[in-house]
Amino acid sequence: MRVVLALDGARASTLAEDLRLEGAEVRTVVAAGDPAAAVADAMAGPEAAELLGELARADLLIVAAGRGALTAELVGACDRFGVRIAPVCAREADRRLAAMFGLHPYSGDADAVALLRPPERPETAVESAPGGRVLAVWGPGGAPGRTTLAIELACELVRDGRRVGLVDADAHAPSLALATGLADEGPGFAAACRQAERGTLTVAELARIAAPLGDVEVLTGLNRPGRWPELSQARVAAALDVCRAWVDDTVVDVAAPLERDEEIVSDIDGPRRNAATLAALASADVVVAVVAADPVGVSRFVRDHAQLRAVVGATPVRVVVNKTRGGPLGIDARGQVRRTLERFAGIEDVWFVPWDGRAVDAALLSARPVAHVSPRSALTGALRRFVGEAVVPPIRKPVERRERGRTGLSARLLRTA
Q: Mean pLDDT across the chain, nearest whole number?
A: 85
Percent of the chain exceeding pLDDT 90 equals: 48
| pLDDT given for residue 123 in this prediction | 38
Read off the pLDDT band of 47 (50, 70, 90). confident
Q: Give the C-alpha separation, 261 to 316, whole Å.
A: 26
The more confident residue out of 81 and 302 is 302
CATH architecture of the domain covering 2-116? 3-Layer(aba) Sandwich (3.40)
pLDDT at 416 over 70: no
Residues 275, 236 contacting (CB under 8 angstroms): yes
The more confident residue out of 100 and 177 is 177
Fold match between 2-116 and 133-391?
A: yes
| Phi, psi for 51 (deg, rounded to 5) | -65, -40
Most confident of 77-86, 247-256, 261-270, 398-407: 247-256
pLDDT at 266 over 70: no
Q: What are the tens digits of pLDDT across the range 161-217?
A: 899 999 999 999 999 999 999 987 777 899 999 999 888 899 999 998 999 999 999
| Phi, psi for 253 (deg, rounded to 5) | -90, 120
pLDDT at 240 over 60: yes
| Phi, psi for 371 (deg, rounded to 5) | -60, -25
pTM for this model (two decimals): 0.68
Residues found in the chain: 417
Q: Give the C-alpha separation, 303 to 312, whole Å.
A: 16
What does the domain layout of the chain look like in residue ranges?
A: 2-116, 133-391
Handedness of CA 160, 161, 162, 164 (dihedral sign): positive
Overall average pLDDT of the 354-364 stretch? 94
**Cα angle vertex 361, ends 360, 367, to 5°?**
85
Q: What are the tens digits of pLDDT across the range 295-305?
A: 999 999 999 99
Q: What are the tens digits of pLDDT across the range 319-336?
A: 999 999 988 888 889 999
Among 156, 124, 115, residue whose Cα is nearest residue 3: 115
- Alpha-carbon separation of residue 346 from 138, 302, 336, 337 (angstroms): 18, 10, 14, 12
Read off the pLDDT band of 396 (50, 70, 90). very low
Read off the pLDDT band of 112 (50, 70, 90). confident
Overall average pLDDT of the 135-146 stretch? 95
| pLDDT given for residue 409 in this prediction | 40
Residues 285, 180 contacting (CB under 8 angstroms): no
pLDDT at 261 over 70: no
Q: What CATH number matches the domain at 133-391, 3.40.50.970, 3.40.50.280, 1.10.10.10, 3.40.50.300?
A: 3.40.50.300
Residue 289 Cα to chain centre, angstroms: 18
| pLDDT given for residue 397 in this prediction | 38
| pLDDT given for residue 45 in this prediction | 73
Q: Give the C-alpha separation, 391 to 382, whole Å.
A: 13
| pLDDT given for residue 270 in this prediction | 60
User: Poorest-confidence range of 40-54, 111-125, 220-234, 285-299?
Assistant: 111-125
